[in-house]
Structure 1
């Protein structure tokens, strides 16, 4: 292909990401895009005041993130990451081996289905029994992940799907436990997972994407207070 043709093909490709900086789900997609070296335009959405464009792109869930590639929208963070990995082949996020790829999907789904549900129980209620149940479920889930971690990252020596999914644990969990006054995730309880979180958060690409900690802490405190007040 000539240089002119290559330039024309590049110009035709348009990538937009609709998101919010405080969202860990959007953060996942940004990390994947940056790992791949994909240029994209960030369309900022406002909490509880989503644009008509976003709702038109994601009428089923009406939420971020939404990736729009050449006018084709893709929703849900894990679905988007797999799309990114399949579309841009450089710096693979999922393993090439089918069994390892299936395992990566399993643990990513585990984080969203088990760990995320548990931590929501802890952070979004004042009911002591629910909090205790959430703490127990959170620690069990973290113990499973502690046992699964064999290398520097879940993806080996390089970041993979499970690592990106786990940004909620590496960056947002310490903020959650600071706000609610609990110590669920410590180096004493989960040494391998804790070291992983430090390595992951300090990875150059991840560090570039993560929102300011103080700003995120204040946003979570405000969101939690509003949620608890509404539930009374």
Structure 2
């Protein structure tokens, strides 16, 4: 990738990550740093009582994650992943080939922009709205599944890459928690065997496991917000 030859083996300035517990987008940023071998300090944020540190370094969206590298601040999870890949040496995260790199970015955006809304509605609505959203979600998961290279463990080949990071937290760890809370099954071995196998491989990866929060703790933390999730989904239906 461009600029890779300028990357330093270790950061010469402190690296900090403003985070919060049980966030799949924070997981993206943290995993990128671990895969690159970058030492960092994790700063846990209370999003109900946002700190001046967070508001100063992410004044636009006022949310996590935010990477602090020396006096620089980088918000947004996938922007952080790309920044880490450009600045720090170690395992490459984005493909070197320009077309493969563009495709990885496209499908990461597809997940965030095309999959999240129907997935959320499939989890937290009911009746025909839920059924229609579940069908749409499964169709989009089929499109995503088709991007897995045949005979490879991950979207990135035999090693975790950018698209694995983009998809990983949401579908490989948090998805099962939300399904349990909602009593809905969306990602199944029967419907999406390759994606199911990928999720199992992702969760089993040693580096991934180092920054996956305990499932029981995630379930307890998110269950307390179930009513909020339902209200958000109802608002989505009303504005559809």
User: Could you state the TM-score of these two structures normalised by the residue count of structure 1?
Assistant: 0.90
Give per-residue Cα distances to partners, 1:156-214, cap 9 Å, x unaligned. 00000110111201111111111111111111111100000000011001011100001
2:18 corresponds to 1:40: no
Paired position in structure 2 for 1:60: 60
Paired position in structure 1 for 2:160: 159
Paired position in structure 1 for 2:113: 113
**8 A Cα contact 2:33 2:84, kept in partner:** yes
Q: Which has the higher contact order (CA 8 A, sep 6+)?
A: 2
Structure 1 Cα separation of the partners of residues 10 and 231 of structure 2: 50
- TM-superposed deviation, 1:229: 6.1
Give per-residue Cα distances to partners, 1:135-169, cap 9 Å, x unaligned. 12210111111211112100000000110111201
**8 A Cα contact 2:47 2:63, kept in partner:** no
SS in 2 for 1:92: coil
**8 A Cα contact 2:19 2:66, kept in partner:** yes
**8 A Cα contact 1:123 1:224, kept in partner:** no
Structure 1 Cα separation of the partners of residues 198 and 230 of structure 2: 32
**8 A Cα contact 1:118 1:134, kept in partner:** yes
What are the within-5 Å matches in structure 2 for residues 1-232 of structure 1? Answer: 12-124=12-124, 126-150=125-149, 151-167=152-168, 168-228=170-230
Structure 1 Cα separation of the partners of residues 126 and 57 of structure 2: 37
Aligned length: 223
User: Could you state the TM-score of these two structures normalised by the residue count of structure 2?
Assistant: 0.88
**8 A Cα contact 2:20 2:46, kept in partner:** yes
- TM-superposed deviation, 1:130: 2.7
Structure 2 Cα separation of the partners of residues 10 and 143 of structure 1: 39
**8 A Cα contact 2:10 2:38, kept in partner:** no
- TM-superposed deviation, 1:117: 1.9
SS in 2 for 1:184: coil
| Consecutive unaligned residues in structure 2, runs of 5 or more | 1-8, 236-240
- TM-superposed deviation, 1:63: 0.2
Structure 2 Cα separation of the partners of residues 138 and 83 of structure 1: 30
Structure 1 Cα separation of the partners of residues 126 and 208 of structure 2: 35
**8 A Cα contact 1:21 1:27, kept in partner:** no
- The structure-2 alpha-carbon separation of the partners of 1:164 and 1:229, relative to structure 1 and needing over 3 Å to count, comes to closer
Cα RMSD of the aligned pairs, angstroms, is: 1.9
SS in 1 for 2:146: helix
SS in 2 for 1:91: coil
Structure 2 Cα separation of the partners of residues 10 and 93 of structure 1: 16
| Consecutive unaligned residues in structure 1, runs of 5 or more | 1-8
